[in-house]
Amino acid sequence: MNRYVILDRINSPADVKNLTPQEADLLAEEIRDFLITNIPVTGGHLASNLGTVELTLALHRVFGFPTDHLIFDVGHQCYTHKLITGRREGFSGLRKRGGISGFTKMSESEYDCFGAGHSSTSVSAAIGFAEAERLKGSDAYTVAVLGDGAFTGGMVHEALNNCRPDLRLIIILNENEMSISKNTGAFADLIAKIRASEGYYNTKRRTVRFVLKIPFVGRKLFRLIRGIKKSVKDRVFGSNYFEDLGLYYLGPVDGNDRVRVERLLREAKAARQSTVVHIKTVKGKGYAPAEENPGKYHSVRPAGQERERNFSLEAGDILTGMAKADSRICAVTAAMAAGTGLEGFRGAIPERFFDVGIAEEHALTFSAGLAADGMRPFFAVYSSFLQRGYDNLIHDIALQKLPVTVLVDRAGLSFGDGPTHHGIFDVPFLLGIPQFRIFTPSCFDSLKRAMESARTADSPVAIRYPDSGDIPEINNLFTPYDTVRTDFQPDNPPENLIITYGRSVRTALEAERLLSGKAGCGIVLLESLKPCRPVADGIMRFITDGTENVVFLEEGMKNGGAGMVIGDMLDLPSGCRYTHLAIDDIFDSPLCTGEVFTDFGIGVSDVVSSIT
Instruction: Please give the positions annotated as active site.
Output: 283, 360, 388
With 0-12 / 13-18 / 19 or more C-beta atoms within 10 angstroms meaning exposed / middle / buried, residue 209 is exposed
Q: Is 227 annotated as a binding residue?
A: no
With 0-12 / 13-18 / 19 or more C-beta atoms within 10 angstroms meaning exposed / middle / buried, residue 4 is middle
- Strands 577-583 and 549-557 come out as parallel
Can you tell me the distance from the alpha carbon of 521 to that of 511, in angstroms, rounded to the nearest whole number? 9
Q: Is 118 annotated as a binding residue?
A: yes
* Phi-psi group of 262: left, alpha or beta (phi > 0 → left; psi -120 to 50 → alpha; rest → beta): alpha
Q: Is 150 annotated as a binding residue?
A: yes
Q: Is 390 annotated as a binding residue?
A: no
Q: Which amino acid is at 48?
A: S
Can you tell me the distance from the alpha carbon of 256 to that of 282, in angstroms, rounded to the nearest whole number? 7
Contact yes or no for 367/389 (Cβ under 8 A)? no
Length of the chain equals 612
Can you tell me the distance from the alpha carbon of 315 to that of 408, in angstroms, rounded to the nearest whole number? 11
Q: Which of 520, 528, 513 is nearest to 549 (CA)?
A: 520
Q: Is 176 annotated as a binding residue?
A: yes
Can you tell me the distance from the alpha carbon of 45 to that of 23, in angstroms, rounded to the nearest whole number? 26
Q: Which of 429, 485, 484 is nearest to 462 (CA)?
A: 429
Q: Which of 375, 358, 611 is nearest to 497 (CA)?
A: 611
* Phi-psi group of 74: left, alpha or beta (phi > 0 → left; psi -120 to 50 → alpha; rest → beta): left
Can you tell me the distance from the alpha carbon of 59 to that of 368, in angstroms, rounded to the nearest whole number? 43
Q: Is 246 annotated as a binding residue?
A: no
**Full DSSP string of 65-96:** TTTSEEEESSSTT-HHHHHTTT-GGGGGGTTS
Contact yes or no for 484/543 (Cβ under 8 A)? no
What phi, psi does 364 have (nearest 5°)? -70, -45
CA distances from 547 to 243, 368, 526 (A): 71, 45, 19
Q: Which of 433, 439, 391 is nearest to 411 (CA)?
A: 439
What phi, psi does 387 have (nearest 5°)? -55, -30
Q: Is 76 annotated as a binding residue?
A: yes
Q: Is 149 annotated as a binding residue?
A: yes
What phi, psi does 35 have (nearest 5°)? -65, -45
Q: Give the contacts of 105 (CB within 8 A, at least 6 positions apart).
A: 75, 112, 115
Q: Which of 495, 494, 508 is nearest to 607 (CA)?
A: 508
Distance of CA 5 to the CA centre of its chain: 36
Q: Which amino acid is at 431?
A: L
Alpha helices in 167-217 (DSSP H): 186-196, 198-212
What SS3 class is residue 47?
A: helix
Can you tell me the distance from the alpha carbon of 55 to that of 45, in angstroms, rounded to the nearest whole number? 17
Can you tell me the distance from the alpha carbon of 601 to that of 609, in angstroms, rounded to the nearest whole number? 11
Annotated binding site for Mg(2+): 148, 176
Annotated binding site for thiamine diphosphate: 76, 117-119, 149-150, 176, 287, 360
Annotated binding site: 76, 117-119, 148-150, 176, 287, 360
